[in-house]
Structure 1
Amino acid sequence: GCLKSSKQISPQEFIYELKSGTVDEKLVSCLESLRVSLTSNPVSWVENFGHEGLGLLLDILERLVEAKQQEQILKKLQHKIIQCLKAFMNNKYGLERIMGEERSFSLLAKAIDPKQISMMTDIVKLLSAICIVGEENILEKILDALTTAAEEKNIDRFCPIVEGLQGNSIHLQVACMQLINALVTFPDDLDFRLHIRNEFMRCGLKEQVPQLKCLKNDALDIQLKVFCEHTEEDMTEFSHPNDVYNVVWNTVKDTSAEGYFLSMLQHLLLIRNDSFIRPLYFKLIEECISQIVLHRSGVDPDFSYRKRLDVDFSHLMNICIEQKKIEELEERASEFSKKVTDAAPKSLPLSAGALPPPPPLPPSLTSSSGKAPPFGVPPPPPPPPPPPLQTLPGAQCSPPPQVLPYGLKPKKEFKPEVTMKRLNWLKIRPQEMNENCFWIKANDGKYESADLLGKLELTFCCKKPHENIEERSIKKRIKELKILDPKIAQNLSIFLGYFRVPYEEIKMMILEIDEAQLSESMLQNLIKHLPEQKQLNELSKMKSEYENLSEPEQFCIVMSGVKRLKPRLSAILFKLQFEEQVNNIKPDIMAVSAACEEIKKSRSFSKLLELVLLMGNYMNAGSRNAQTFGFNLCSLCKVSLFKEL
């Protein structure tokens, strides 16, 4: 059956071939034809095949992965099945079926093999795409699958991914960094992000990142920049020593580790009180802790072995020795320079009749001309200082106050004594309100009291991070990002690498509304990851620099030729989903309407909103969100993010 054209083969014929149980070149050609059919046929064909065919593909993949002897033909068949799964999930139906099969993630994780570069590249790209377009709990499923696969091989779960970064394949390295970024950046919980990132670091990512930066590849640089920027953002939460201490103390308090933590602090107190020696001690201790916690082997050290830990800090000792030599040389140079300066007037006495040097020019003349006046011409006297400016009452350049609608009175401007944490609510302007709006009647001022505001300052104050922290930015490469945000560029790179359709073809699909080619998954990704229209307009002016731009920006230049791009995409997606939405929208509207009516009548909820409005205006004093009359109710979710609550 597989000798016919792929378009002519029915799903049942492929299912029959897959049931035959053969593992040879005939199955390889059959799977290749199946991949072409899944790519070229309509979604209805994919659905007919998927009812039984998906299970057969996973059954074959499971047998191949579990085989004790991994021959070359078995690896080739595994890769073909991965390619078929990739084509199968290139639509909403296929994506939902794959995510609904619990064993699909486990089999994909088990098939990861750094020695099979092409197959691993496809698998890692698949997992990255699923992380982005999947449900909220999809990340947990993928991590569980990686954990299960690693336990069977008795290795760390992230070791194969980091090992993929160590080869010579740029495509695999980019794909692995995409998956790492997806796993590390998507969780909302900060502690979980730090845990995942540190686990990658222990597996060798810490040593690998500097080497990857030296490759100077545009796509790889984007992924590295995203990784480093998110690392810095997460670490700002622990930029103050008191915050870090409180977190560590709460972690070890009332546990068996509490005594060891106290002993560590007591030993730190025994460091000799010397301004030069103390920093070297702490630098050495920090290096030891870093190597122990982020162990390069990817596994915990042997806690029962107390003779010697495998910690290498010889390079650090060399740095300290060199730094000491440099400081001594600088000190000697400073002393020598001082001696030369002191001896200079004595060795050059004024000869008889010589004129003393003219007085120095005023700074204004010296800086403006850069040249000294001709010899013998005395410098002009400095201009008289300008008269002091008189402050006129009310003479400020602020615009006239706007007239507030519906009798609203200006909000009080708070001036806290300390810097407050910000409540990032979505501000509603008075002009956007109507006369029946809750915020017109809200009276948050009645809750204001010195006691409440003092508690707010105590609870939500923040300390400025040290401004002397070194900026650690990735150097821009030849094809640097000109306009796009690195996060948007990263997501577009994943999208373009997953769908692999020429940019002009995607543009024509959208203009022609080609429903056969435009899948829901593609449209959803485009709408989600395309930049704002303003950025598209800016990129459209850079067509002459097309070849010098990165791939995401080249794609955006092509897409900028489509007028009203996002509304057009939304309309096409709505058309594809119309029938499904019609069946579901009626009960949803009824439920939402009933809930809204209940909330509008709730007096307790009204009091809560007024209290939050007062607290937010006090905490946001001096910011653009200060003196707010009302806020979007979705901002209430952000209140729970404050760890003080």
Structure 2
Amino acid sequence: MPGGGGLCWCLGGRGPPEIKFGTDYDTPLKPVTVDIPMPTDEAELNAKFEELVVELDLDKPHRDALYSLPPEKKWQIYCSKKRDVDSSTQNNPGSYIEKIKAMSPVCCDMTEEDDDSRTKVVDNLKTALRTQPMSFVVQFIQQNGLQALLDFLCKMDYSTSESSVHTFCIGCIKALMNNSQGRAHVLAHPTAVNIIAQSLAVENVKTKIAVLEIMGAMCLVPGGHRKVLEAMMHLQKHAAERTRFQLMVCDLDRSFGKYREEVSLKTAVMSFINAALRYGPGQDHLEFRLHLRYEFLMLGIVPIMQKLRGHSNATLDRHLDFFEMVRSVDEKELSRRFEGNHVDSKSASAMFEVLRKKLSLTAAYPHFLSILYHFLLLPYGKSDVYGVWMLVDKIIQQVILQQKNGKDPDSAPLQEINLKHIVMQLQSETDIKVYQQKLREAEKATDELTAKLAKKERECEARLEEKEEITNTMNMMKARLDKEIASHADTRKQLEDLLNRVEDIRLQLDTERGEKQKLQHLVQTGSLPDDAKVGLSSATTTLISDIKAATDRHDFRPSCPPPPPPGAPPPPPAPGAPPAPGLGGSTLNPTLAVKLKNIPKPSHALKSFNWTKVPENKITGSIWQDLTHTKIFASLDLREFEQMFSAYQKPAEESEEDHKSTFTKPKTTVLTVIDGRRAQNCTILLSKLKLTNAELAQAIMNVDAGEDLPKDMVEQLLKFVPTTEESSLLSEYASEIENMARADRFLFEMSKITHYEERLKALYFKKKFQERRQDCKQKIEGVHEACKEVFKSRKLKRVLELVLACGNYMNRGQRGNALGFQPASLNKMMDTRSSVSKQITLLHYVVDTVEKKFADVMKLEDDLPHVREAAKVNFKELEQEIASLKKGLHNIEKEVDFFKIQLDSPHDRFVTVMQDFCTVASYSFTEVEEAYAEMHKKYGSVLKAFCEEPNQVQPDVFFGVFDTFLQSFGDAKTENEKIRRQKEEEEKRKKIEEEMKKEREKRMLLRRGSSIADKDQKVTVADNPEKGEFDDLISALRTGDVFGEDLAKLKRQRRRVNAQADYSRERNGVK
């Protein structure tokens, strides 16, 4: 590459480069001996030499340089090449193509040998395309070799796309483009450049670099720039990116770990950007450069370039300097168009002001105003606002970029806009409206059917849950009954054995007593009287009866006691009207009673004032005792007050058309007496329920048999239970129920339902019971399983042993010679850091030791799957939930007993439904209580096993220690792997540096020991078959030499401008 030649000489520079012929490292070449006699006819020699030059596919400057050589040198080169061609084994391109077609693009079920064979085939093809003569390349093209490569690239799976096979395939295309016919074939192919661009959407850095070098060099080739921009549009769709250059700018900002590869990739990206901006249409058109550069600026390339300066790489800095210098020159040129004012492209107001000043005195100003006015009329806040503004933006870009000859240098602006499709849409707008109306009707019908279906599904789910619950309860009851029957049979058998023993004892006792009496009589009188016989018989009978009575009193009932009898139902509410507000049934002071009597009555209902009254028994001795508020009424305009705070709401004002109507409609008033905010929230809730008051009342009475009330809605309804005050206040206006507001009427009608609040609470409890019971059961089972896992895990015991050994080894004195440690000490290993590296702790060492010595222990978390769940359980909260469930069941039982003594209503199914529910729920709840007792016992034994105090450590604390340790254990494993990889990369880098150092020393030795070869014996560039025209272009683009002349010119201009500015300041006396 001649210095200061601008573009590489193969595309037309200042002159042909110096033809140097040498191999790598400037090693001396062996003299070429010519065995074939040189033709005496110079025309014959030139004809043969021309065949060789054509075969080498050189450009005109190199061809002229070869033609200018002396005949002896021409014949020497001809013989050398001829001998190389004859001696080399000419491979058939067809064999390579068949092998490529036979290669599998998928890595699954592929052995390592198959993968190596596949890689070797592609690598050999790349070498053949570089080294074989022109005829090989022509045959490869004619036999659709390029298409075979492209098909393989399209069919690759992820593993193949990230392998070296992908890189070698791109290398084959790069080698093919290294001669004119191959390059022309690639550019003429309809999809080749697009498929090459697809390879940027991989993680393999080497593949990215190869693709970027090809794309960047193609920007410099005639006809290639537009192909590259179209390929970028294809990449945008292929990678599902927002813009066409987004993937490239992201790669520019990413960190890939390896410094050399990262710098090479970022250099390749910047060289491609500079080539896309500076060549093609950008070579002559300022608008195109500004348009294309603005895409990169919108993607945030400027702060990324500032970060790239930190790499301190000369080649990369050269590309960054060129980008910034060209941008500065273009922006200055743009500012000249606007009378030297700098255009701030980041500020909308600044750009508007520049345009306004530029157009204010021109004939285009009305059109400028028209454009702004119609921009105001564009839709805002709609879903299609983005699409409308994008269409306007694309159209303006197309107007700016379209050249005078009608050609479009960039097809991106209007590529996604199908004008024919837009026209067809405008023509069928009426049909679309009709279809939209039909669609809305269909959607409405679908929504109604969906709502009905959802309701039926809820009913089915509820019935299915009840069925499963009843089935489980029946199975549990059956098992318990079998157990009780077996226990009863054993008890009966024991009773029979006892009776038999008693009978034997009785007989034995009778015999003993008779013998005793006989002996006593014989000793005293010598004979046995009759009364002794009678006394003996009666005593024996009394003893037997006492034994039987004792056995009858023995309790042989089942082990499970029956549920306690329900308490006495509360007395029904006393009939009659509620006490007058404020009186409360208490005896008032006569003076206070007079004050209350003097309160005037309003002519109609007023809004209520939500205050808190002071009880009458506290009035005496307070400030209220001396206040006489009844005198204030004389100073008040009570009529105005009634109008201001009337409970009747005024309807909306009628329109003029209503006043003009012939018929006068009667005014309707709405009565509202409850708090406004509470009424508003209640109305919102009722609108969500979409049920009338009658339907809602029916759902409450039949315990929501139709599943009309979701759980969350029942919970909300509990917030709007009518209070006693509201009920009494609404009862006063019962005659005006038709005029009540919706919330007032709802509260009034619900207050008529007996025990409405209790019914609602029972319904909510029933709906939530199964979920709450299951939640308790899961927590209990989680703790129970975690106890067994922690106690039985051999892997955990191995870790504890290892930690105990390390601790005893490290500690001395009172902390040493430990026989065990508390589990919480496991998480303190992170605090003990290594003196070698602060990143390494005792936990890292333990994990590394486990991984090396006890590999099976690395799966410790598999032994403790329930620890994380148990770490969320707190006994206090769990016991409160169980007590709440027990209390809820008891309350429902009380309500059932209460409604049993009430008059039955045909629509009231509370007793029937809730009685069955209580029966089933009680048995299932008993199972939870038994499981909790068993779990608590197991947990206590585990605490003792780990030397913890029972009843003092909660599960969330105890198991939380192991949960935290497992997380730290996994993190330490990951960090150890990261440290190991960094160490391997560091060793690999040092090894490469050592090899490079040895290589440099070897080169220096070769240079010192070599003799300078004669210039005539140096071989031409054409003698190095692996160096081609396209490679020269890529090399110049990579190093930035292709921008060398432009960069030098820009620097000279900048120095000249700075010098002129300094001279101007000196003349004006400005320092």
Alignment TM-score, normalising by the size of structure 1: 0.39
Q: Is the helix fraction higher in 1 or 2? A: 2
Q: Which has the higher contact order (CA 8 A, sep 6+)?
A: 2
Larger radius of gyration: 2
Alignment TM-score, normalising by the size of structure 2: 0.24
